[in-house]
A and B are shown apart, each in its own frame.
Chain A
Amino acid sequence: MTLLPEGFIVWSVLAPALFLLGFALLTLLLGVFQRDRGFVAAVALTGIAGAAVFALHFLMEAQRGSAESGFGLRYLADAHASAFTLVILLGTALAVLVGQGTLERLDLDHPEYFPLLLLSATGAVVMVSAGDLITLLLGLEIMSLAVYVLAAWRSDVRQSQEAGLKYFLLGSFASALFIYGIALTYGAGGHFDYASLMAVFAATGFEAHITALLGAVLIIAGLGFKVAFVPFHQWAPDVYTGAPTPVTTFMAVVVKTAAFGALLRVAATIFAGLEAGALGAILPGVLVVLIGATLVVGNLGALLQAGVKRMLAYSAVAHAGYLGLAVVAAGADGMAAAGFYLAAYTLMTAGAFAVLTQVMDDDDRGDTIEHFAGLGRRRPWLAAAMAVCLLSLAGIPPFAGFIGKVLVIQAAITAGHVVLAVLAVVTSVVAVVYYARVVVAMYFREQSSAARLPERPASRSVDVAIGIAAVGTLLLGLLPGLWYTLLEQGQNLLVFVSSP
C-alpha cells in the first residue's frame, strides 16, 4: 500500500456535502420521534443554510484566487463547484418549502420526504464538485436513487408508480451507458481524473482517438439522459407529470443543475482535450446535433400540451437545449453563462411549479389552462408571481430568463456556433406562444365555472417559496451583475489547463 502524499486529502472541501448528509440523517431520525413536520422541515432548511454558508465561503475564496481541492484534483471547491452548489441548495430549499406546504394536503405526509431530498442534494453537490469520473458516478447514483423513490412517492396512484418505475428503468439504462463510457475513456487515457485525461488527450502522440471519442459520446448519452437531451429525453415529460408536484419541482431544478454542472466540467476538460487533438471537430458536431434536436423537440412538444404541468415538463426539456449552448462553449464563457442561467432557471421553474401546487386540487390534478382562467382577478399576487416566472421562462426582459438567454447565446456565438444560436432564437419564438397562453388565460379570460380554485387556506411556506422565486427572478433580471460577476471572476481549477 502506497502512502498518500502530504496534503492529498483535504477534508474541508467536503464540508457542504457532509453537512447535507449529516442533516439528512438527522431529519431521518427526527422523523421517527417528531410528529411535527414543520419542525423537521425547519431542521432540513437549517442544514441547507449551513451547507450554503460553506459553499459561499469557498466561492469567496475562489474570488480571491485561492480555490481549494481535495484528494488530488478529484474533489474540487472552486468557483464552478461552489456556485453550482449554491444553485442546488437554492433549488432544494424551494422544494422543501413547497413540499412542507403541500404534502399534508396531498395525503403524503411521510417524514422521509425531507431526508430523501437532502440525500439527493448531497449527491448533486458531489456531482458538481467532482474532478474525477468515479467521483462523478458516485454522486450521480447517490442523487438518482433518492429521486427514483421520490418520483414514486404516491404509491397509491398509478401515474406516480409508473413515473418512478420508468425513471428507474431508463435511468439504469442510462447509467449503464455512462459507465461504459467511463470504461472506454479510461481505456483510452489511462486515468479517471479530468485533468490527467485532458492532458493525455491533447498531447501529441496520442493514438486512441476513436476509443476516447466513443467514451465521450457514451458519457454525453449518460449525462444527456439526466439533463434530458433529445433522444434521451422521453422519460422527462412522463415522469415530471406523474410525480407529485413538489417532487417534480426538485427534479426539474436540482437534478438538471447537477447534471449540467457535471457535463460542463467534463466538456471544459475531457472534451476540450479531445478537441485539441486530431479528429477534434467530431465531438462538437455531435453536441450541436443533440442540442439542436433538443431545442426543436422540447419547444414543439410544449406547444400543444393541455396541461400546464406537462407543458412545464417539456419546457424543462427545451431549457436543456438553451443550456446546451453553454456546453458547446464550456471552455470559454459557457460555464459562467450556464451558472447564471441555472440560477435564473431554478427560480423561475420552481416558482411556476409552486404556483401550480396552489392551483391544483388535493388529488394533485386540475392543471389545465381552464384552471388558470381569471386567476388574475381571484388571486392577484399568485397570478402576478406566475406571470413573472412564465415571462422569464419565455425570455422576456426585464426578467432573469432574458439575461440568461442573452448570456448563453452570446457564449455560443463567441465559441463559433452561430447556427445553433440562430436556432435558439427561432425556437424562443415558439416558446413565447405556450408560456403566453397561460398568462393570457390568467388575465384576459373569465373564470370558467367548471374549474374552480379549491377553497383552502393559503400555505405560508409555499407563499414564501413563490415570493422568493418571483422576487429573485425580477432581481436577477434587474441586477444580473450581482451574481454574474461572482461566476465570471471566480477561479476555476482545471480550466486554466485548457487555455493553450
Chain B
Amino acid sequence: MTGDPVSWAALAPLLALFGALVNGMFGRRLREPWPGYLASGVVVLGFVLSLLAFATFGQREVGVSVRLWEFLPVAGLDLAVGFHLDQLSLLMMLIVTGVGALIHVYSLGYMHGDGGYARYFAALNLFIAAMLVLVMADSYLLMFVGWEGVGVCSFLLIGFWYRQQRNPDAARKAFIVNRIGDTGFLLAMFLMYRTFGTLTIADVNAAATAFAFGAGALTSIGVLLMLAAAGKSAQLPLHVWLPDAMAGPTPVSALIHAATMVTAGVYLIARSAPLFAQSPDASAVVAWVGGLTALLAALVALAQTDIKRILAYSTISQLGFMFVAVGVGAYWVGIFHVLTHACFKGLLFLTSGSVIHGLGGEQDVRRMGGLRRFMPLTALTALVGTLAIAGVPLLAGFFSKDAILLHTFASTLLADHGAGVLYGVLLLSATLTAAYMGRWYLLVFEGEPRLSVEARGKVHESPRVMTVPLLVLAAASVLTGYLGLPAFAFPNWIAPWLEPATATVGFAYPPLWAEWLLIGAAVLATVIGLALAWWVYLVQRGVPVARLASGRLATFARSGAGFDALYQQAVVGPAEGTSVALAVLDRDVLDRGLAASVTTTGVLARGVMLLQTGLVRNYALAMLVGAVVLLFVVVLAGVRA
C-alpha cells in the first residue's frame, strides 16, 4: 500500500469480502439489525474510499496500478493479481458502492423479519466485492474472476426465496444463459493470449492499437467479447434470463439487475475501447445488437403486466441504448448512460419494491392504480424516475439519451454499417420508452384504485429507511445529467475526463442548427410517447388497447417476443433429447467399460495388498531383490553401451 490515497481504494473489495465472510459464517448468531448494519457499513466505507480516490485522482492522465500479489509465475505466464484505478474504473466504483450503499440501507427495511436476513446480506456483500473486482481488475483474467463472482451472487440472490419452485428455476436459467456468454469471454481470452501474448488489459489495448485497422483477429476477439457482454447484460439473443430474474427480492433487482451487474457488459466494451476502435466490424455488431435489443425490449415492455417485469424489459432496452453508444465509439456516452441509468432505474425498482411492500406482495399492475394517495413519497419519486427515463428535458435521462442519439447520428466508425438506420431505430425505441414508462406510472399510481380487498386494508407508505434512499436516488436522477451537458453549447465535464481511460474515435458532428434539431426530435419523441400513454390509460381508461389485446402483435409482445418458446423448441428440446441419448450411451457403454476398469483396478489393489505380508523378512527380501535387479540392469546396460 503506497501513500497515494487513490491506491487505498484497493481496500474496498476486501472490506466487502470481510462483511460477506462474517455474515456468511457467523450471521446466524447475530441478531437482526446487526448483519444489515455490518453489511451496509462496509459498503459505505467502500464508497468513502472510492470518493477519496476520486477526489485525489484529479486530472491525472495515467491510472494508478496496485499490484496485490504474484499468483504463480510459471513458464512465462505472469498470473499477477492487481488492480488498475483510472477514470473509468473509479467512476464504476462510485456507481457500485454508491448505489450499493443506498440499496443496502433500503434492504434494512425491505428484508425486515426475513428468515434469511444474514444470508441475504452476506450474498449482497459478496456481490459488491465481486463487482468491484470486476471493474478494478488490471487483467482480463482477474476481471473474469469478478465476472463469474457476480454471476454466482446473482444466482444466489435470484433464488433467494428458494422454497418456491419458480425462483430456483429462474436462478438456474440466469446462470445457464450467462454461461453461454462466459464461453465467449473465455474464448476471447484464449484468442487474446494467442494474438498478443498477454492478458493484462493495458497491454492488450496497447497491442490492439498497434494492430492493423480492421484486422480479423481484432474483430474475432471483439465479437467474442460482445458475446460475453450479451450474456451478462441481457442483450439479444441472450436476454431471456433477465425478466425471470425478477424472482429475486426487489432490492436485488435494483442493484444487480438494473444498476450494476448488467452494465458489466458495457463496461467490458468500454474497457476494451482501443480494441473496438480498431475494428469497425466488431463495433457494428455491438451497436446493432444493442439497437435491435432496445427496440424489441421496448415493444415487449408495453404489453407486460407485472410491475417488475415491465422494468426488467425496460432495463434490457436501456442497456441496448448503452451498447449502441459504445458500439458507435462514444465510450464516454455509454458510461454516462450507465451512470444516469443506475440512478433512475435503481430508483424505479426501489419504488416498485416500496409498492410491493406496501401492498403485501401484489405485483400485477392491473390490480393497482391510484396509489399516489396512499404512498405520496413513493409516487413522487417514481414520477421523477419515469420522467428521467422517458427523456424529459432537464432530467438525467434526457442528457444521456440525447448524447447517444447525437453520436449515433454523427458516427463515422459505423458510417458504412447503417448508422443512419440505427438512429431511426433508437428514435422509435425512445418513443416507445416514454410510452411504456408512462403506462407503468399511470397504471400504478393514477386513476381509480383497482386493489384487491385484502390489499386495500394493508396499503401504507414505506418506513423512512426505505423512503430516504428513494429521495437520494431521485435527486441523483436529476443531477447526474448535468455532468454531461451537450458539448456543443455547454460545458461537458464527463467526456474529457473519461477520454484518457477509453479511446478517441472521430465523429462528424452536424452544424449547430442541426444539433438543436436533433434535440428537438428527441424531445418530440418523448412527448409523443408520454402523450400516448396519458391519452390511452388516463383519458380513455385503457379502452383502446383492450380492443388490440387479442391481436397478433399484442400476443407476440406479451410472450416476450416468443423467445422462450423458441428456445424451448430449438434448444431445450434437442438438448434434452441429446441428454437422454447420452445417458443411454453413458449407462450402457461407458459405465460398463468403466466398471471393467474399476474391477481391474480393484484386482490390482488386492494384489498390492497381498504383497504386504507384514513379515520383515519378506520386506527385506523385496528391498534386496529390488536393489539387485536395479544393479544388474545398470551393469548390463552399461556394459552393452
Complex Cα distance A95/B606, Å? 32
Say whether B72 faces chain A, with CB atoms less than 8 Å apart.
yes
Q: Are A481 and B73 in contact (CB under 8 A)?
A: yes
Q: Are B630 and A286 in contact (CB under 8 A)?
A: yes
Pick the contact of A300 from B608, B619, B630, B637 — CB < 8 Å?
B608
Complex Cα distance A173/B606, Å? 27
Say whether A453 faces chain B, with CB atoms less than 8 Å apart.
no
Looking at the complex, which of B133-141, B356-364, B582-590, B610-618 is the stretch in contact with chain A?
B610-618
Q: Are B74 and A407 in contact (CB under 8 A)?
A: yes
- Given A169-B620, A279-B641, A300-B604, CB of A488 within 8 Å of CB of B73: yes
State the Cβ distance, A390 to closest chain B Cβ, in Å: 19
Say whether A132 faces chain B, with CB atoms less than 8 Å apart.
no
Say whether B570 faces chain A, with CB atoms less than 8 Å apart.
no
Contact with A along B501-514 (1 / 0, CB 8 A): 00000000000000
Complex Cα distance A410/B606, Å? 32
State the Cβ distance, A17 to closest chain B Cβ, in Å: 30
Contact with B along A220-238 (1 / 0, CB 8 A): 1100010000111011011
Complex Cα distance A225/B627, Å? 11
Q: Are B625 and A231 in contact (CB under 8 A)?
A: yes
State the Cβ distance, B632 to closest chain A Cβ, in Å: 10
Pick the contact of B602 from A166, A221, A303 — CB < 8 Å?
A303
Pick the contact of B605 from A177, A300, A480, A488 — CB < 8 Å?
A300
Say whether B622 faces chain A, with CB atoms less than 8 Å apart.
yes
Q: Are B609 and A214 in contact (CB under 8 A)?
A: no
Complex Cα distance A440/B51, Å? 48
Q: Are B622 and A231 in contact (CB under 8 A)?
A: yes
Q: Are A282 and B637 in contact (CB under 8 A)?
A: yes
Chain B, interface SS category: helix
Complex Cα distance A300/B625, Å? 21
Across-interface contacts of B618 in A (CB, < 8 A):
234
State the Cβ distance, A445 to closest chain B Cβ, in Å: 21
Determine the residue in chain B with the shortest Cβ distance to A293: B626
Q: Are B70 and A481 in contact (CB under 8 A)?
A: yes
Say whether B623 faces chain A, with CB atoms less than 8 Å apart.
yes
Across-interface contacts of B625 in A (CB, < 8 A):
231
Q: Are B608 and A221 in contact (CB under 8 A)?
A: no
Across-interface contacts of A165 in B (CB, < 8 A):
616
- Given A214-B635, A217-B627, A304-B602, CB of A481 within 8 Å of CB of B609: no
Q: Are B612 and A237 in contact (CB under 8 A)?
A: yes
Pick the contact of A303 from B73, B605, B627, B641 — CB < 8 Å?
B605
Which of the listed residues B75, B624, B625, B634 has the most CB atoms from chain A within 10 Å of its own CB? B634
Say whether B487 faces chain A, with CB atoms less than 8 Å apart.
no
Across-interface contacts of A217 in B (CB, < 8 A):
627, 630-631, 634
Across-interface contacts of B490 in A (CB, < 8 A):
none
Across-interface contacts of A480 in B (CB, < 8 A):
71-72
Across-interface contacts of A231 in B (CB, < 8 A):
622-623, 625-626
Chain A, interface SS category: helix
Identify which of residues 473-497 in chain A touch chain B, using a CB-to-CB cut-off of 8 Å: 479-482, 484-485, 488
Pick the contact of A221 from B73, B616, B626 — CB < 8 Å?
B626
Across-interface contacts of B607 in A (CB, < 8 A):
300
Pick the contact of A238 from B611, B614, B620, B638 — CB < 8 Å?
B614
- Given A213-B634, A300-B608, CB of A234 within 8 Å of CB of B619: yes
Across-interface contacts of B626 in A (CB, < 8 A):
221, 230-232
Determine the residue in chain B with the shortest Cβ distance to A340: B72
Determine the residue in chain B with the shortest Cβ distance to A232: B623
Contact with A along B67-98 (1 / 0, CB 8 A): 00111111100000000000000000000000
Q: Are A174 and B623 in contact (CB under 8 A)?
A: yes
Say whether A441 faces chain B, with CB atoms less than 8 Å apart.
no
Say whether A348 faces chain B, with CB atoms less than 8 Å apart.
no
Complex Cα distance A481/B80, Å? 9
Determine the residue in chain B with the shortest Cβ distance to A478: B71
Determine the residue in chain A with the shortest Cβ distance to B630: A217
State the Cβ distance, A136 to closest chain B Cβ, in Å: 19
State the Cβ distance, A500 to closest chain B Cβ, in Å: 21
Contact with B along A259-302 (1 / 0, CB 8 A): 00000000000000000001100100110001000001100110
Say whether B639 faces chain A, with CB atoms less than 8 Å apart.
yes
Q: Are A225 and B623 in contact (CB under 8 A)?
A: yes
State the Cβ distance, B150 to closest chain A Cβ, in Å: 19
Say whether B572 faces chain A, with CB atoms less than 8 Å apart.
no
Across-interface contacts of B176 in A (CB, < 8 A):
none
Q: Are B72 and A484 in contact (CB under 8 A)?
A: yes
Pick the contact of A166 from B69, B74, B616, B638 — CB < 8 Å?
B616
Across-interface contacts of A278 in B (CB, < 8 A):
641
Complex Cα distance A469/B256, Å? 37
State the Cβ distance, A280 to closest chain B Cβ, in Å: 10
Identify which of residues 226-254 in chain A touch chain B, using a CB-to-CB cut-off of 8 Å: 230-232, 234-235, 237-238
- Given A430-B601, A481-B69, CB of A218 within 8 Å of CB of B627: yes
State the Cβ distance, A184 to closest chain B Cβ, in Å: 10
State the Cβ distance, B71 to closest chain A Cβ, in Å: 5
Say whether B633 faces chain A, with CB atoms less than 8 Å apart.
yes
State the Cβ distance, A349 to closest chain B Cβ, in Å: 20
Cross-chain pairs A/B with CB under 8 angstroms, 21 sampled: A173-B620, A173-B623, A210-B638, A210-B639, A213-B634, A217-B630, A221-B623, A232-B623, A234-B611, A234-B618, A234-B623, A282-B641, A286-B634, A300-B605, A301-B609, A303-B605, A410-B74, A410-B75, A481-B69, A485-B70, A485-B73
Binding site for A on B (CB under 8 A): 69-75, 601-602, 604-609, 611-612, 614, 616, 618-620, 622-627, 630-631, 633-635, 637-639, 641
Binding site for B on A (CB under 8 A): 165-166, 169-170, 173-174, 177, 209-210, 213-214, 217-218, 220-221, 225, 230-232, 234-235, 237-238, 278-279, 282, 285-286, 290, 296-297, 300-301, 303-304, 403, 407, 410, 414, 430, 479-482, 484-485, 488
Given contacts A221-B623, A234-B618, 12 further A-B contacts (CB under 8 A): A166-B616, A166-B619, A217-B630, A218-B631, A220-B630, A221-B626, A282-B638, A286-B630, A286-B634, A300-B601, A303-B602, A403-B72
